[in-house]
Amino acid sequence: MKKILSIENLTLIAIILSVPFGIYFKELSINISLIGTIFLNLLKLVIVPLILSSVLVSILGLNSLTRIKEVGIKTLIYYMSTTTIAVITGLLIVNFFGFESNAEFSGKEFSLDKEISLKDFILSLIPSNPVESLAEGKVIQIIIFSILIGMALLKIAEDKRSVIFKFFDGLNDGLIVLTRWIIYLTPLGVFSIVSSLVAEKGIDPILGLWKYALAVFTGLLVHAVINLGLIAYLVGRFNPLDYFLRIREAVIVAFSTASSSATLPVSMEVAEEKGGVKKKTAGFVLPLGATINMDGTALYEAVAVLFIASIYGIELGLYQQIIVALTATLASIGAAGIPGAGLVTMVMVLNAVGLPLEGIGVILAVDRFLDMLRTSVNVWGDLVGTKVVDRFVK
Protein backbone atom coordinates (compact mmCIF):
# COMPACT_ATOMS: atom_id res chain seq x y z
CA MET A 1 0.00 0.00 0.00
CA LYS A 2 2.80 2.34 0.94
CA LYS A 3 4.39 1.69 -2.43
CA ILE A 4 1.21 2.49 -4.33
CA LEU A 5 0.70 5.70 -2.39
CA SER A 6 4.26 6.90 -2.95
CA ILE A 7 4.79 10.59 -3.65
CA GLU A 8 5.62 9.75 -7.27
CA ASN A 9 2.32 7.97 -7.84
CA LEU A 10 0.28 10.53 -5.95
CA THR A 11 1.85 13.26 -8.08
CA LEU A 12 0.94 11.42 -11.25
CA ILE A 13 -2.63 10.92 -10.04
CA ALA A 14 -2.75 14.62 -9.16
CA ILE A 15 -1.79 15.58 -12.73
CA ILE A 16 -4.40 13.29 -14.24
CA LEU A 17 -7.16 14.60 -11.96
CA SER A 18 -6.13 18.22 -12.38
CA VAL A 19 -7.15 18.36 -16.04
CA PRO A 20 -10.88 17.58 -15.64
CA PHE A 21 -10.86 19.60 -12.40
CA GLY A 22 -9.50 22.63 -14.28
CA ILE A 23 -12.13 22.24 -16.98
CA TYR A 24 -15.17 21.76 -14.71
CA PHE A 25 -14.21 23.86 -11.68
CA LYS A 26 -12.68 26.86 -13.37
CA GLU A 27 -13.11 29.40 -10.63
CA LEU A 28 -12.09 27.11 -7.82
CA SER A 29 -8.99 26.08 -9.78
CA ILE A 30 -7.94 29.67 -10.24
CA ASN A 31 -8.60 30.37 -6.57
CA ILE A 32 -6.37 27.57 -5.41
CA SER A 33 -3.51 28.57 -7.70
CA LEU A 34 -1.97 30.09 -4.59
CA ILE A 35 -0.89 26.63 -3.46
CA GLY A 36 1.01 26.11 -6.69
CA THR A 37 2.74 29.46 -6.33
CA ILE A 38 3.79 28.62 -2.78
CA PHE A 39 5.15 25.29 -3.96
CA LEU A 40 7.12 26.95 -6.77
CA ASN A 41 8.49 29.60 -4.44
CA LEU A 42 9.68 26.92 -2.03
CA LEU A 43 11.54 25.19 -4.84
CA LYS A 44 13.03 28.46 -5.99
CA LEU A 45 14.11 29.16 -2.43
CA VAL A 46 16.48 26.23 -2.60
CA ILE A 47 17.93 26.81 -6.08
CA VAL A 48 20.53 29.54 -5.54
CA PRO A 49 22.26 28.18 -2.42
CA LEU A 50 21.96 24.66 -3.84
CA ILE A 51 23.75 25.51 -7.08
CA LEU A 52 26.50 27.41 -5.29
CA SER A 53 27.13 24.71 -2.71
CA SER A 54 26.78 21.68 -4.96
CA VAL A 55 29.02 22.96 -7.75
CA LEU A 56 31.62 24.10 -5.22
CA VAL A 57 31.53 20.84 -3.26
CA SER A 58 31.79 18.81 -6.47
CA ILE A 59 34.73 20.80 -7.77
CA LEU A 60 36.51 20.49 -4.40
CA GLY A 61 35.57 16.79 -4.29
CA LEU A 62 37.12 16.14 -7.69
CA ASN A 63 40.23 17.47 -6.04
CA SER A 64 42.45 18.10 -9.06
CA LEU A 65 42.33 20.49 -11.96
CA THR A 66 43.06 17.68 -14.41
CA ARG A 67 40.03 15.72 -13.22
CA ILE A 68 37.80 18.77 -13.32
CA LYS A 69 38.91 19.35 -16.88
CA GLU A 70 38.25 15.71 -17.70
CA VAL A 71 34.73 15.62 -16.24
CA GLY A 72 33.97 19.09 -17.59
CA ILE A 73 34.98 18.20 -21.13
CA LYS A 74 33.12 14.87 -21.03
CA THR A 75 30.01 16.61 -19.76
CA LEU A 76 30.13 19.29 -22.43
CA ILE A 77 30.78 16.78 -25.23
CA TYR A 78 27.89 14.69 -23.98
CA TYR A 79 25.51 17.63 -23.76
CA MET A 80 26.43 19.01 -27.16
CA SER A 81 26.07 15.64 -28.87
CA THR A 82 22.70 14.78 -27.39
CA THR A 83 21.31 18.23 -28.19
CA THR A 84 22.47 17.89 -31.78
CA ILE A 85 20.85 14.47 -32.03
CA ALA A 86 17.64 15.99 -30.65
CA VAL A 87 17.59 18.75 -33.25
CA ILE A 88 18.22 16.32 -36.09
CA THR A 89 15.40 14.13 -34.81
CA GLY A 90 13.11 17.16 -34.84
CA LEU A 91 14.03 18.03 -38.41
CA LEU A 92 13.53 14.47 -39.59
CA ILE A 93 10.12 14.29 -37.96
CA VAL A 94 8.99 17.51 -39.63
CA ASN A 95 10.18 16.35 -43.02
CA PHE A 96 8.24 13.19 -42.40
CA PHE A 97 5.09 14.99 -41.23
CA GLY A 98 5.23 17.61 -43.99
CA PHE A 99 3.47 20.76 -42.74
CA GLU A 100 1.31 22.39 -45.37
CA SER A 101 1.14 26.18 -45.61
CA ASN A 102 -1.79 27.73 -43.84
CA ALA A 103 -2.56 31.28 -44.77
CA GLU A 104 -5.31 31.67 -42.20
CA PHE A 105 -2.77 31.79 -39.40
CA SER A 106 -0.25 34.23 -40.82
CA GLY A 107 -0.31 37.86 -39.86
CA LYS A 108 -1.08 37.31 -36.18
CA GLU A 109 0.39 40.02 -34.05
CA PHE A 110 3.44 39.41 -31.97
CA SER A 111 5.91 41.89 -30.58
CA LEU A 112 9.11 41.41 -28.71
CA ASP A 113 10.19 43.50 -25.77
CA LYS A 114 13.82 42.88 -26.38
CA GLU A 115 15.93 41.24 -29.01
CA ILE A 116 18.87 39.15 -27.94
CA SER A 117 22.12 39.09 -29.84
CA LEU A 118 24.95 36.60 -29.61
CA LYS A 119 27.17 39.30 -28.10
CA ASP A 120 24.69 40.01 -25.28
CA PHE A 121 24.41 36.31 -24.66
CA ILE A 122 28.17 35.80 -24.30
CA LEU A 123 28.49 38.83 -22.06
CA SER A 124 25.64 37.61 -19.89
CA LEU A 125 27.67 34.55 -18.96
CA ILE A 126 30.39 36.46 -17.18
CA PRO A 127 29.59 37.63 -13.65
CA SER A 128 30.93 41.02 -12.66
CA ASN A 129 29.51 40.89 -9.15
CA PRO A 130 28.85 37.46 -7.63
CA VAL A 131 26.56 38.88 -4.97
CA GLU A 132 24.38 40.38 -7.66
CA SER A 133 24.37 37.08 -9.57
CA LEU A 134 23.22 35.31 -6.41
CA ALA A 135 20.64 37.93 -5.52
CA GLU A 136 19.15 37.92 -8.99
CA GLY A 137 19.38 34.17 -9.39
CA LYS A 138 21.50 34.33 -12.55
CA VAL A 139 22.15 30.65 -12.72
CA ILE A 140 24.88 30.45 -15.37
CA GLN A 141 26.83 33.21 -13.65
CA ILE A 142 26.57 31.43 -10.31
CA ILE A 143 27.86 28.22 -11.90
CA ILE A 144 30.78 30.00 -13.56
CA PHE A 145 31.65 31.80 -10.34
CA SER A 146 31.48 28.55 -8.34
CA ILE A 147 33.68 26.72 -10.84
CA LEU A 148 36.28 29.49 -10.86
CA ILE A 149 36.46 29.96 -7.11
CA GLY A 150 36.39 26.17 -6.63
CA MET A 151 39.38 25.70 -8.92
CA ALA A 152 41.22 28.55 -7.21
CA LEU A 153 40.57 27.00 -3.79
CA LEU A 154 42.32 23.84 -4.95
CA LYS A 155 45.48 25.92 -5.06
CA ILE A 156 45.40 27.05 -1.41
CA ALA A 157 46.55 25.25 1.73
CA GLU A 158 44.63 22.06 2.52
CA ASP A 159 43.67 23.05 6.09
CA LYS A 160 42.09 26.28 4.97
CA ARG A 161 40.33 24.62 2.10
CA SER A 162 38.84 21.88 4.25
CA VAL A 163 37.03 24.48 6.39
CA ILE A 164 35.30 25.84 3.32
CA PHE A 165 34.57 22.37 2.04
CA LYS A 166 32.95 21.32 5.31
CA PHE A 167 30.86 24.45 5.44
CA PHE A 168 29.45 24.08 1.94
CA ASP A 169 29.12 20.32 2.20
CA GLY A 170 27.02 20.74 5.35
CA LEU A 171 24.94 23.44 3.72
CA ASN A 172 24.43 21.21 0.71
CA ASP A 173 23.25 18.28 2.84
CA GLY A 174 20.85 20.56 4.67
CA LEU A 175 19.42 21.84 1.41
CA ILE A 176 18.84 18.30 0.20
CA VAL A 177 16.88 17.55 3.39
CA LEU A 178 14.87 20.72 2.88
CA THR A 179 14.17 19.65 -0.70
CA ARG A 180 12.94 16.31 0.54
CA TRP A 181 10.41 18.12 2.72
CA ILE A 182 9.29 20.28 -0.18
CA ILE A 183 8.85 17.17 -2.30
CA TYR A 184 6.11 16.02 0.08
CA LEU A 185 4.07 18.93 -1.21
CA THR A 186 4.46 17.98 -4.88
CA PRO A 187 1.08 16.27 -5.36
CA LEU A 188 -0.75 19.32 -4.02
CA GLY A 189 1.49 21.85 -5.75
CA VAL A 190 1.29 20.08 -9.08
CA PHE A 191 -2.48 19.67 -8.85
CA SER A 192 -2.87 23.38 -8.24
CA ILE A 193 -0.46 24.45 -11.01
CA VAL A 194 -1.94 22.26 -13.72
CA SER A 195 -5.61 22.76 -12.83
CA SER A 196 -5.30 26.55 -12.79
CA LEU A 197 -3.43 26.42 -16.07
CA VAL A 198 -6.17 24.36 -17.69
CA ALA A 199 -8.80 26.68 -16.20
CA GLU A 200 -7.07 29.77 -17.60
CA LYS A 201 -6.06 28.59 -21.02
CA GLY A 202 -8.44 25.74 -21.75
CA ILE A 203 -7.49 22.92 -24.07
CA ASP A 204 -9.08 24.22 -27.28
CA PRO A 205 -5.95 25.86 -28.76
CA ILE A 206 -4.28 22.47 -28.88
CA LEU A 207 -7.01 21.23 -31.20
CA GLY A 208 -6.38 24.05 -33.67
CA LEU A 209 -2.67 23.43 -33.90
CA TRP A 210 -2.85 19.69 -33.49
CA LYS A 211 -0.51 18.78 -36.33
CA TYR A 212 2.26 21.03 -35.09
CA ALA A 213 1.73 19.92 -31.49
CA LEU A 214 1.74 16.29 -32.59
CA ALA A 215 5.02 16.76 -34.49
CA VAL A 216 6.68 18.27 -31.41
CA PHE A 217 5.23 15.56 -29.21
CA THR A 218 6.38 12.75 -31.52
CA GLY A 219 9.87 14.22 -31.83
CA LEU A 220 10.19 14.56 -28.07
CA LEU A 221 8.95 11.04 -27.52
CA VAL A 222 11.38 9.57 -30.06
CA HIS A 223 14.27 11.47 -28.51
CA ALA A 224 13.36 10.60 -24.92
CA VAL A 225 12.64 6.94 -25.52
CA ILE A 226 14.80 5.86 -28.45
CA ASN A 227 17.77 8.24 -28.61
CA LEU A 228 18.32 8.74 -24.91
CA GLY A 229 17.27 5.17 -24.17
CA LEU A 230 19.94 3.82 -26.53
CA ILE A 231 22.57 6.19 -25.16
CA ALA A 232 21.73 5.08 -21.63
CA TYR A 233 21.94 1.46 -22.62
CA LEU A 234 24.97 1.54 -24.90
CA VAL A 235 27.11 4.31 -23.42
CA GLY A 236 25.94 4.47 -19.81
CA ARG A 237 25.38 0.70 -19.54
CA PHE A 238 22.26 1.01 -17.44
CA ASN A 239 18.62 0.12 -17.96
CA PRO A 240 16.81 3.34 -18.96
CA LEU A 241 13.36 2.14 -17.93
CA ASP A 242 14.49 1.13 -14.49
CA TYR A 243 16.33 4.42 -14.09
CA PHE A 244 13.32 6.39 -15.31
CA LEU A 245 11.06 4.73 -12.76
CA ARG A 246 13.46 5.69 -10.01
CA ILE A 247 13.81 9.32 -10.96
CA ARG A 248 10.32 9.91 -12.37
CA GLU A 249 9.39 12.40 -9.66
CA ALA A 250 11.80 14.90 -11.25
CA VAL A 251 10.28 14.45 -14.70
CA ILE A 252 6.76 14.92 -13.32
CA VAL A 253 7.80 18.10 -11.51
CA ALA A 254 9.45 19.32 -14.73
CA PHE A 255 6.22 18.65 -16.61
CA SER A 256 4.05 20.59 -14.22
CA THR A 257 6.37 23.52 -13.52
CA ALA A 258 7.80 23.86 -17.07
CA SER A 259 11.02 24.94 -15.43
CA SER A 260 14.31 23.04 -15.39
CA SER A 261 15.66 25.38 -12.74
CA ALA A 262 12.75 24.92 -10.39
CA THR A 263 13.09 21.17 -10.87
CA LEU A 264 16.82 21.14 -10.11
CA PRO A 265 16.52 20.51 -6.35
CA VAL A 266 14.25 17.54 -7.04
CA SER A 267 16.55 16.21 -9.80
CA MET A 268 19.55 16.35 -7.47
CA GLU A 269 17.68 14.61 -4.69
CA VAL A 270 16.40 11.75 -6.83
CA ALA A 271 19.63 11.31 -8.83
CA GLU A 272 21.65 10.87 -5.66
CA GLU A 273 19.16 9.11 -3.42
CA LYS A 274 17.34 6.90 -5.91
CA GLY A 275 19.32 6.94 -9.13
CA GLY A 276 22.59 5.91 -7.51
CA VAL A 277 24.60 8.79 -9.00
CA LYS A 278 27.68 9.89 -7.05
CA LYS A 279 27.21 13.18 -5.26
CA LYS A 280 30.19 14.84 -6.89
CA THR A 281 28.94 13.97 -10.35
CA ALA A 282 25.34 15.02 -9.78
CA GLY A 283 26.45 18.19 -8.02
CA PHE A 284 28.37 19.35 -11.05
CA VAL A 285 26.63 17.80 -14.04
CA LEU A 286 23.01 18.52 -13.05
CA PRO A 287 23.21 22.27 -12.35
CA LEU A 288 25.14 22.68 -15.59
CA GLY A 289 22.59 20.55 -17.43
CA ALA A 290 19.62 22.44 -16.04
CA THR A 291 20.97 25.61 -17.62
CA ILE A 292 22.72 24.58 -20.82
CA ASN A 293 21.45 21.14 -21.76
CA MET A 294 18.00 21.42 -23.26
CA ASP A 295 17.40 18.67 -25.76
CA GLY A 296 13.65 19.18 -25.67
CA THR A 297 13.91 22.91 -26.25
CA ALA A 298 16.33 22.51 -29.17
CA LEU A 299 14.08 19.95 -30.82
CA TYR A 300 10.98 22.06 -30.27
CA GLU A 301 12.62 25.19 -31.69
CA ALA A 302 13.65 23.36 -34.85
CA VAL A 303 10.14 21.99 -35.36
CA ALA A 304 8.50 25.32 -34.54
CA VAL A 305 10.69 27.26 -36.98
CA LEU A 306 9.93 24.84 -39.79
CA PHE A 307 6.26 25.08 -38.92
CA ILE A 308 6.36 28.88 -39.00
CA ALA A 309 8.16 28.74 -42.35
CA SER A 310 5.44 26.52 -43.74
CA ILE A 311 2.71 28.90 -42.58
CA TYR A 312 4.29 31.60 -44.66
CA GLY A 313 4.56 29.19 -47.54
CA ILE A 314 8.35 29.10 -47.34
CA GLU A 315 10.13 25.82 -47.79
CA LEU A 316 13.52 25.62 -46.12
CA GLY A 317 16.15 23.72 -48.09
CA LEU A 318 18.89 21.53 -46.69
CA TYR A 319 21.36 24.37 -46.24
CA GLN A 320 18.80 26.43 -44.31
CA GLN A 321 17.81 23.43 -42.23
CA ILE A 322 21.44 23.02 -41.22
CA ILE A 323 21.44 26.65 -40.10
CA VAL A 324 18.25 25.96 -38.16
CA ALA A 325 19.94 22.97 -36.50
CA LEU A 326 23.00 24.98 -35.49
CA THR A 327 21.14 28.02 -34.21
CA ALA A 328 18.49 25.95 -32.44
CA THR A 329 21.28 24.19 -30.55
CA LEU A 330 22.78 27.54 -29.56
CA ALA A 331 19.39 29.00 -28.73
CA SER A 332 18.61 26.08 -26.43
CA ILE A 333 21.90 26.60 -24.60
CA GLY A 334 21.02 30.25 -24.18
CA ALA A 335 17.50 29.57 -22.91
CA ALA A 336 17.08 29.95 -19.16
CA GLY A 337 15.45 27.09 -17.26
CA ILE A 338 12.20 28.97 -16.80
CA PRO A 339 8.77 28.71 -18.45
CA GLY A 340 8.64 30.14 -21.94
CA ALA A 341 12.37 30.76 -22.27
CA GLY A 342 12.64 28.67 -25.42
CA LEU A 343 9.99 30.76 -27.12
CA VAL A 344 12.11 33.87 -26.62
CA THR A 345 15.45 32.44 -27.77
CA MET A 346 13.73 31.08 -30.86
CA VAL A 347 14.04 34.61 -32.21
CA MET A 348 17.71 33.78 -32.86
CA VAL A 349 16.72 30.88 -35.09
CA LEU A 350 14.05 32.83 -36.98
CA ASN A 351 16.51 35.67 -37.56
CA ALA A 352 19.17 33.30 -38.83
CA VAL A 353 16.97 32.07 -41.65
CA GLY A 354 15.21 35.37 -42.23
CA LEU A 355 11.72 34.38 -41.12
CA PRO A 356 9.26 36.95 -39.75
CA LEU A 357 9.30 37.08 -35.95
CA GLU A 358 5.53 37.56 -35.96
CA GLY A 359 5.34 33.85 -36.71
CA ILE A 360 5.85 33.24 -33.01
CA GLY A 361 2.40 34.70 -32.42
CA VAL A 362 0.85 31.74 -34.19
CA ILE A 363 2.27 29.09 -31.92
CA LEU A 364 1.81 31.06 -28.73
CA ALA A 365 -1.52 29.46 -27.91
CA VAL A 366 -0.12 25.97 -27.43
CA ASP A 367 3.23 27.01 -26.08
CA ARG A 368 2.69 26.40 -22.42
CA PHE A 369 1.53 22.88 -23.09
CA LEU A 370 4.53 22.14 -25.31
CA ASP A 371 6.76 23.82 -22.74
CA MET A 372 5.67 21.24 -20.17
CA LEU A 373 6.57 18.45 -22.57
CA ARG A 374 9.92 19.85 -23.67
CA THR A 375 10.95 20.68 -20.12
CA SER A 376 10.28 17.06 -19.13
CA VAL A 377 12.63 15.96 -21.90
CA ASN A 378 15.20 18.59 -20.89
CA VAL A 379 15.25 17.24 -17.36
CA TRP A 380 15.23 13.60 -18.46
CA GLY A 381 18.18 14.45 -20.73
CA ASP A 382 20.08 15.97 -17.79
CA LEU A 383 19.39 12.95 -15.63
CA VAL A 384 20.48 10.47 -18.28
CA GLY A 385 23.58 12.62 -18.86
CA THR A 386 24.47 12.59 -15.18
CA LYS A 387 24.20 8.83 -14.98
CA VAL A 388 26.24 8.37 -18.17
CA VAL A 389 28.99 10.78 -17.08
CA ASP A 390 28.95 9.17 -13.63
CA ARG A 391 30.10 5.92 -15.20
CA PHE A 392 33.29 7.63 -16.30
CA VAL A 393 34.00 9.41 -13.02
CA LYS A 394 36.27 7.38 -10.79
Q: How far is the CB of 135 from ligand ASP (least distance, A)?
A: 21
Residue list 68-127, contact with ligand ASP (CB under 6 A): none
Residue 335 in contact with ligand ASP, rule: CB under 6 A: yes
Q: How far is the CB of 70 from ligand ASP (least distance, A)?
A: 27
Residue 327 in contact with ligand ASP, rule: CB under 6 A: no
Residue 302 in contact with ligand ASP, rule: CB under 6 A: no
State which residue, 56 or 140, has the beta carbon closest to ligand ASP. Answer: 140
Residue 213 in contact with ligand ASP, rule: CB under 6 A: no
Among 49, 340, 356, 361, binds ligand ASP (CB under 6 A): 340
**String of contacts with ligand ASP for each residue 346-385, x by CB under 6 A:** -------------------------x--xx--x-------
Answer yes or no: are the C-beta atoms of 375 and 263 closer than 8 Å: yes
Q: How far is the CB of 213 from ligand ASP (least distance, A)?
A: 15
Among 90, 334, 337, 381, binds ligand ASP (CB under 6 A): 337
State which residue, 41 or 101, has the beta carbon closest to ligand ASP. Answer: 41
Residue 219 in contact with ligand ASP, rule: CB under 6 A: no
Number of C-beta neighbours around residue 24 at 10 A: 12
Residue 321 in contact with ligand ASP, rule: CB under 6 A: no
Residue 260 in contact with ligand ASP, rule: CB under 6 A: yes
List Cα–Cα distances, 29 to 193, 258, 312, 321, in angstroms.
9, 18, 38, 42
Residues 6 or more apart whose CB falls under 8 angstroms from that of 18 comprise 29, 190, 191, 192, 193, 194, 195, 198
State which residue, 266 or 294, has the beta carbon closest to ligand ASP. Answer: 294
Interacting residue ranges for ligand ASP, rule: CB under 6 A: 258-260, 294, 297, 335, 337-342, 371, 374-375, 378
